[in-house]
Structure 1
Amino acid sequence: MPRSERSLPLLMLLPNLVTITGLCAGLTAIRFIMVERYDIAAMLIVFAAAIDGLDGLIARRLNAQSNFGAELDSLSDFLNFGVAPGLLVFQYALAGTYSTNWVFVLVYTICGCLRLARFNINRDAPLPAGAKPQFTGVPAPGGALLALLPLFMSLQGIVDASAFPLAYGIHLAVVGLLMTSRIPTLSPKALRIPRDKAIFVLVGTVVVIGLLVTRFWLLMTLFGLAYAGVTMMSIVNYLRRWRG
């Protein structure tokens, strides 16, 4: 029997199984949104973001990359970081106020779809000679993190974001527009940590694990604020170069 007709080893299917696990997390988040368990829904979206990219890493290590896996990952990202966060924010803060607030959810979700579509068509595009890969726009998982930041702060008890539905709706729409922008931004997948800084990474990991167990929403708030700060710096630098 030709090799192409043989069954693939289970190990080669592992990247797709990881992707499907993330997709299940996003679908289950929507299920908990329906019963108003916003805390569990947010945790599931965070879990999906945490394992995002793991499927690609495993695929590269196993030499199991495929167009099927890439498209599956993109569709999963759209549901996990486009649809689920939009629905979560709407049910938590926007549903009980003006019906026009749904427009903010549409803007965010459509922008997430456009961002992933743009990424798909540019994924295999050759770079000009001497050019370095550049990540533009807020990535889908980063967009979900920024979109849910006010919710994280509410669950931590810092502020009640549901008391400011219009402000939260505008925030959601702005995050969506940032996802489709051409502004160079930081992607966690592009981070490279020098080996001589390994001790700091170890200490940071211990602190993160400690907060993950004891003060989860505080940790997510700090992550969200840090990423928002980095994104704002990227926007300021982009505007300075554009003006110059």
Structure 2
Amino acid sequence: MIHLPATLESDLDWSRADEEGPFFLDFGWDTTPLHPFNEGHFNAYRLAVEEWNKWKKEGTVFLGRVNGDFSKQFNPSQELEERYREFLLDENLAPTSMNYTLFCANIFSEYLQRLASFCSDEAIPSLIVFLEGLSAENVLFFCKRRFEHIHLHFTHYSLPLFQKESIGVSLSCDNTFDPSIYNALFSSLKELGLSFKCVPEELLNEHWDGIDHLIVDPGTLSETGRRMLYGFEAAGGEIVSTGERLGFSKELLLEEFLKKKKPV
């Protein structure tokens, strides 16, 4: 990987840009917290992206690297605090550590995708992700709800978000997501050695190709999600409910599904 200095102080004189990539545009966010609402800073980073376009235009370009704690990407500020309060009100959420990290994940992903929009059409804007293992919280933070147009490069542990699997897990909306339900579900699936793919509820119809069984939490299923399940069923899929039955003709309870999948 070729590191290209792209901090606010960098002159963008990249003598190594003629080498083979992939390239990492180092904005310095590892050591200097990002100021997400400073347009002057954003424009400086945008110029770095546009300069990279002049050199390469195509291939993988990494725009950052993170772990699961997005709250450490930013320094506390009055504007950040005000926007967090607005986020809690809009989503009807309590002020918890997880919800603050979720808020920061939203801010960071919006910033990164805005920056990625200045990459050439041939480029693959990417993000390096360091994770130690599977958790429902990280699945929520890194799902396509936030990173649909950014390629995530997992360096240690890959989350079940992009693989083609026959078992799908519908992720409920941010304001109804219960990590305890999903952590228990993931553990049950892993115990049986079952691979699966997690898809945000609102994106199900875009990503259910290849999925035969779709696991849903009936307690948090929205009306939009229910309508999508009818489409999934019509396409030949089977719904698996983690709670009570939902009334579909092709439906199993989770216990029934796991029993069928258990090795004899």
The higher relative CO (CA closer than 8 Å, separation ≥ 6) is in: 1
Larger Rg: 2
Report the structure, 1 or 2, having the larger strand content. Answer: 2
TM-score normalized by structure 2? 0.32
Which structure has the highest helix share of the two?
1
